A and B are shown apart, each in its own frame.
Chain A
């Protein structure tokens, strides 16, 4: 099972919106509405930002939103802030054989 494909880097200016894509296959992203997104600052553990494609855990800013179309999921960060600069990973459930597959990761830079 290959990793989900994410762009290596995305950048934006403060206040702007950016979108990170996460492309999988019909065996993972395309089959299940079970995509989650994680934010990871350097030297820190990942933090859950989005689950079940669109849901936000309590405490996560509503500037973060998720969506999915076909085999591609997306994370949008609106009103970009300096603190959003981090690595972001998507993850999809892939059925009872593979279980979970992570994305390749995207480095978000706030210009």
Chain B
């Protein structure tokens, strides 16, 4: 059974770059027809899709964040990563990684990590 686990610093200073990693266990990140997404949720608020990585390595981003976001993959480690530059307090949120299985529940997020809280503060 595939599981996702986010990791990374819980505190980032304003104007710096937020970096998180999602480790995939129980299956290969590059097998199947999968999109791997990052989604965030400010405390007490709703969900926001950040961007996704396709199995082939191609990426798509939320237009509102596109200029600051990079999602990449390390197939040797079975991980994918998020980098968000020039962060402000508005980027404080729980960050989730999630899977979209085109062979299964397509265009939906069927597996989620537990989430990791990131606070932007000096």
Q: How many inter-chain contacts with C-beta < 8 Å in the A-B complex?
A: 68
Other than the given A48-B109, A89-B47, A102-B48, 7 more pairs (CB < 8 A) read A1-B64, A34-B106, A47-B112, A51-B107, A52-B107, A57-B104, A100-B62
Interface size, A (range): 20 to 34
Closest 5 CB pairs of A and B: A51-B108, A36-B108, A100-B49, A45-B112, A34-B107
* Across-interface contacts of B64 in A (CB, < 8 A): 1
Within the complex, what minimum Cβ distance (angstroms) separates B89 from chain A?
Answer: 20
- State A104–B104 Cα separation when bound (angstroms): 26
Q: Residues of A at under 8 Å CB distance from B?
A: 1, 3, 32, 34, 36, 38, 45-48, 51-52, 55, 57, 89, 91, 93, 96-105
- B28 within 8 Å of A (CB atoms): no
B107: A residues at CB distance < 8 A: 32, 34, 36, 51-52, 93
How many residues of B are in contact with the other chain, CB < 8 A? Answer: 23
Q: Which of B48, B62, B108, B115 contacts A48 (CB 8 A)?
A: B108
Q: In the complex, which of the residues B45, B105, B112 contacts A46, with contact meaning CB atoms closer than 8 Å?
A: B112
Question: A-contacting residues of B (Cβ < 8 Å)?
Answer: 37, 45-49, 52, 60, 62-64, 96, 104-110, 112-115
Given that A38-B109, A45-B112, A51-B106 are known contacts, is A3 also in contact with B60, CB under 8 Å in the complex?
no
| B47 adjacent to A1 (CB under 8 Å) | no
Give the distance in Å from the alpha carbon of A45 to the alpha carbon of B5 in the complex: 11
CA distance A98 to B61 in the complex (A): 8
B35 CB → nearest A CB, Å: 10
- Which of B46, B47, B62 contacts A99 (CB under 8 A)? B62
Instruction: Give the CA-CA distance A98 to B115 in the complex, in Å.
Output: 23
A55 to B, closest residue via Cβ: B105
Bound CA–CA A73/B45 (angstroms): 21
Contacts A51-B106, A52-B107, A57-B110 known; A102 to B47 CB distance under 8 Å? yes
Q: List 18 A-B contacts (CB under 8 A).
A: A3-B46, A34-B106, A34-B108, A36-B107, A45-B113, A45-B115, A48-B108, A48-B109, A51-B106, A52-B106, A91-B49, A91-B109, A99-B49, A99-B60, A100-B37, A101-B49, A102-B46, A103-B46
